[in-house]
Amino acid sequence: MQYEQYDVINQYILADKAYDTEIIKQTIIEETTALPEIPVKTRQKRGTYRSKCRVIFRPRVYRFRNQVEGVNSVEKRKFSGINNSRSTNLQIKETKMKNVFYTIYQSIQIVQK
């Protein structure tokens, strides 16, 4: 797969410990320009990428995951957490539309204050 290179100093992919696998971290590092910010599971310590990520884990960056989870939670509550589309392309479009609706919703909330 080809990915566009962006002029961004740091890009991170934030996830919880459930996504701490060697394959996921390898894919993030080798196929994207992002850095994985995934805490290492306490009992699984092997793996080249896992050991590298343990050394460079940034708790300050990982704190932003709470904001992302908050946005996802509001989107699910306000706009239904169910994707009704069957095809993957339509599911992606539906999710993007919900993101647009959330942005509009937030803008209206800010203006009303």
Asked, for residue 48, whether it belongs to a domain, the answer is yes
Question: Are 41 and 70 contained in the same domain?
Answer: no
Parent domain of 53: 12-62
The structural domain count of the chain equals 2
Domain match, 37 and 54 both: yes
Q: How far apart are the first and last CA of the chain?
A: 45
> pLDDT by residue for the chain (113 residues), tens digit each?
444 444 445 588 888 878 788 888 888 888 887 888 887 776 766 777 666 666 667 777 778 888 878 877 887 788 777 777 888 888 888 888 888 888 888 888 777 76
Alpha-carbon dihedral angle through residues 90, 92, 93, 95, given to the nearest 10 degrees: 120
Residue 1 lies in a domain: no
Give yes or no: residues 83 and 107 share one domain.
yes
Q: Are residues 77 and 98 in the same domain?
A: yes
